[in-house]
Structure formats: structure tokens, C-alpha cells
Chain A
């Protein structure tokens, strides 16, 4: 893998990136493959009440020290697009 200057990425950086992801899932008991399911179900539930811009929905686990937070960013469609 290359960085934005086209340099070969150092193996220590790869190790750190891989560890970041692995630790999030180890700490939360949330299997990596579950994030997609969670995203789809969230969209489904929220869409029942309000129009969601499906393609722009982002969910991720962020870290604050040793605490994990599930952060969802769910853009809503503007009111007029809902055909009022």
C-alpha cells in the first residue's frame, strides 16, 4: 500500500491500523461483519418515521481512551423531496 505521496507504507503503520480495528471488535464483542447488518437495520427503523438519505449513512465505533462509542451519522432528506 502507498500513502498519498506514493511512498511505500511502513509496516508499523499497518500494524497500528489493523490493531485499531481488531481492538474495537474485541472490546465490544461486536463481530466485524455485524456492522453492515446494524447499518441496514438502523436505516430500516428510522425510515419508518423519517426519510433518510440511505447512501450517506455512516456508522462507526469510535474510541475515547478505553471507552467505545457507537456513532451513527444519518443524514435526512430535505422536507420538499418527500413530495409534500
Chain B
């Protein structure tokens, strides 16, 4: 266990590390990007972290984290008893406290059940401070598997009609599973489009979804640049998306962090600050 461990992440009923599931409903909104970056940011803060790729059959977290060449065993191997938990945990190249359990590529979601995920995560809790589960898109088995072990659910959405609609549906399902209230990360914001009235503003999305916001991530070319080389963007000090994901990670540990400005003279962040009862 790391020295930075706080009481907030040891207060869950099962004891030990905390399970945070990243989900969205709609595909392609940034779940895998968020998982890799929140995981790396928490590890950079000194926590011991294990990311789990829950997208069985469409393995991707390994390439986003740059660990694809180190895979020997996967999630289904652990669950079916072909290897020990530790053997399936791939250690990150840069952050020694960061691990990945990759998805199986040649199986499908029915290879594991929600109770398998609960059992696996309960075992992992004894090893790490945070377990970040990357959920597949949709509301089927893969989603059920991903939220079953969750102590906390983070919903990623984009400022678009269909993504917000799907996020709302997921929020309802998470509540129905007694896993709520979920928290929101709004990804791929384009400040100039918001300004000219051609993109939903964060305050609009919050008013519609009525859940707690824990991240505003700008559209940033560097996200793609960093995914090309398999290096998390949170390690790039200058990137604004990296800064935004570092802030998400801090808020998940219970720190109060003001929302970063997407633009020097925008009014909406101060309005948002008022709405949420905290500065900036």
C-alpha cells in the first residue's frame, strides 16, 4: 500500500482499495482515454492503481497505455483460473505503481459474469488503492460486468444530443442498481463553439443531467498525439486535456480543485462555479 493512501478510499464496505467504473452508454466518447489518464494521474500522485479493460473482444486500453507488447495473461485467464491475479497485472513502463489487467481479445462479454467481476475486484482491493474499470459501450452484459464491483461510477459524455441522452439513460440504470449517484466528466468541449452558441455549454448539460460534475475536458489534438505513442496525456505537463484529467483524478480522491478555464475570458466557468457552489 502506498503512503499517500487516504481514509476516503478505505471506507468502502468491502474494505481495501476503491473500485471506480468509467462508463458512458454511447461509444467513442472517451471512456478508454479517461481510464488510462485517471489511472496514470492517480499513480503519479503516489497511489497504487490497477486499470481493468472490461471491453472483452475489443481490447484497447493496452494500446492507449502503451502496454500491448507485454501481455501474457488477460482478464478471462484470471477468472477461469489459468493464472494468478498477480500474473495478469502488467506493470506500467513509467509509473511503477500503475498496473493493467487487459481484456481477452478472442472471447466475448459472456465469458465473464457480474459476480466474477465482484470476486476479482474484491481480491484486487487487497493489493491496490484504486481499481479503475473501463466499461464497454452499451447497456448489455459488458456494462453490467463493469458496474457490478463499482464503489463509484463515473459517466463520460460529450456535449452532443445523442451522447447526453445516453448518459441520462446510464445515470438512471446506475441508480436502479444502487450504484449512484454517478459523477460526470464532460469530454471534448470546444470553447469557441460553446461561445458562438453552437455547442451545449457545461451548465446546460449539468442542468439536464442533474448530477455532480467532476471534470471538464477540452477537445485537444494532443490526446490523439499521445495515443499514437501510447503515453498518457496526463504526463504532458503542458496539455490542457492532461491538466483536466489530473484534476478529475484529484477530485476522485476527495480534493477540492477549481475548474480550469477553457479560455481566458469566458463567463461560463464563473457562472458554473456559482452553480456548483465552488470557485472557478
Measuring CB to CB, which residues of chain A are less than 8 angstroms from any residue of chain B?
10-13, 15-16, 18-20, 22-23, 26-27, 63, 65-66
Contact = CB atoms under 8 A, between A and B. Distances in A.
Contact of B200 (A15, A65, A66): A15
A12 B194 contact: yes
Contacts of B169: 26
B165 A12 contact: no
B172 A12 contact: no
A66 B155 CA distance: 16
A19 B199 contact: no
Q: Which 4 A-B pairs have the closest CB atoms?
A: A10-B197, A65-B210, A66-B210, A16-B204
B168 interface: yes
Nearest to B181: A66
B208 A12 contact: no
Contacts of B164: 19
A10 B198 contact: yes
A12 B210 contact: no
Interface residues of B, number: 21
Given A26-B169, A27-B172, A65-B210, A18 B161 contact: yes
B98 interface: no
A11 B198 contact: yes
Nearest to B172: A27
B201 interface: yes
A11 B198 CA distance: 5
A19 B165 contact: yes
Given A19-B200, A66-B209, 13 more contacts: A10-B196, A11-B198, A12-B197, A12-B199, A12-B201, A13-B197, A15-B160, A15-B200, A15-B204, A23-B208, A27-B168, A66-B171, A66-B211
A12 B204 contact: yes
Say what secondary structure dominates the interface of chain B.
Answer: helix
Contacts of A63: 210
B188 to A, nearest CB: 15
Contact of A23 (B165, B196, B211): B165
B172 A20 contact: no
Nearest to B169: A26
Contacts of B199: 12
B198 A20 contact: no
Contact of A16 (B172, B200, B211): B200
A23 B209 CA distance: 9
A65 B199 CA distance: 22
Contacts of B165: 19, 22-23, 26
A78 to B, nearest CB: 40
19 contacts: A10-B196, A12-B194, A12-B198, A12-B199, A15-B161, A16-B200, A16-B204, A16-B208, A18-B161, A19-B164, A19-B200, A20-B208, A23-B165, A23-B208, A26-B172, A27-B168, A27-B172, A65-B210, A66-B210
A77 to B, nearest CB: 38
A80 B236 CA distance: 77
